Amino acid sequence: MSIRDIEEVILAFGEAARRSREAGFKVIEVYAAHGFLVHQFLSPLTNHRSDEWGGNESNRRRFAIEVARSIRKYWPENFPLIFRLSATDWIDGGIEIEDTIETAKCLSLEGVDMIDCSTGGIGGKDRPRRMKVSQGFQVEFAQRLKEEAQIATMAVGFLWDPEFCEGIVEKKEADMVALARELLDDPNWPLHAASQLGADKDYGLWPEEMGWWLDKRDRFLKKLGLR
């Protein structure tokens, strides 16, 4: 990208924030992870520039910071601004969690409220050898960012069990959790989770027109001893 391209894209992020505001959106999350443009600037694996946009850590961070600043010009202070970051590239010579802690501190100073804490997605299509997937395998990064960058975090990636998710928030490892594929599989997951965790006893959280039916069926099935 030429310097002019860079400046144009930064401005376009701000303009997009302005249009989002006008269109009535209440939250912006910038996808700065998984090999998309902001991540490409942040990671030494992809940023080989030798001008003020690359070459060292603070130069590689400049684009993300300028994007946040540009958005904040048009995005009201009391409206949440979230950045999704890849906390580590899982590849030697790439971004490590310590780099991301510094990035999060810088973004926080620009008015970013929360980091959605993912990992990887750069350096080719094969899963990096260092990346070992299990339920909540990225939570430790959300926790470190929360503690060491003093910023709110969202834990994400391979989360599906309600009690496991509740534990993350309860133990203050992150401020919230985000799910994607589990919600594709079960769009009513939040309601089922609420029920499993004892927060919804009689379908009271469901839309009224469905809740009363399900509650009625439940009571009937219990009376018959079928459930």
- In the complex, which residues of this chain contact ligand FMN (CB under 6 A)? 34, 118, 121, 156-159, 179-182, 184
The secondary structure of residue 127, as a DSSP letter, is P
Q: How near is the Cβ of 159 to ligand FMN at its closest, in Å?
A: 5
Q: Name every residue whose Cβ is closer than 8 Å to that of residue 173 and which is 6 or more positions away in sequence.
A: 139, 140, 142, 143, 146, 155
Residue closer to ligand FMN by CB (options 2, 134) is 134
DSSP secondary structure, 76-108, as one string: -TTS-EEEEEES--SSTTS--HHHHHHHHHHHH
Nearer to ligand FMN, 6 or 156 (CB): 156
| Sequence-ordered list of residues with C-beta below 8 angstroms from that of 10, at least 6 positions apart, any chain | 63, 66, 67, 70
Tokens of 86: 């890849």
Q: What is the four-CA torsion angle of 69, 176, 89, 72, rounded to 10 degrees?
A: -10
Residues 60, 42: contact at Cβ < 8 Å?
yes
CB atoms within 10 A of CB 225: 6
Query: Shortest Cβ distance from residue 179 to ligand FMN (Å)?
Result: 4
Nearest residue (CB) to ligand FMN, 19 versus 181: 181
Measured distance CA(51)–CA(69) in Å, rounded? 20
User: Which single residue is written with the structure tokens 């939570």?
Assistant: 139
Smallest distance from the beta carbon of 183 to ligand FMN, in angstroms?
Answer: 7
Rank residues 185 and 202 by Cβ distance to ligand FMN and give the closer one: 185
Smallest distance, ligand FMN to C-beta of residue 172, A = 21
Task: For ligand FMN, give the closer residue by CB, 172 or 181.
Answer: 181
Nearer to ligand FMN, 160 or 212 (CB): 160
Minimum distance from residue 100 beta carbon to ligand FMN (Å): 15
Please report how close the Cβ of residue 140 comes to ligand FMN at its closest, in angstroms: 15
Beta strands in the chain (DSSP E): 28-32, 81-86, 114-118, 152-156, 176-178
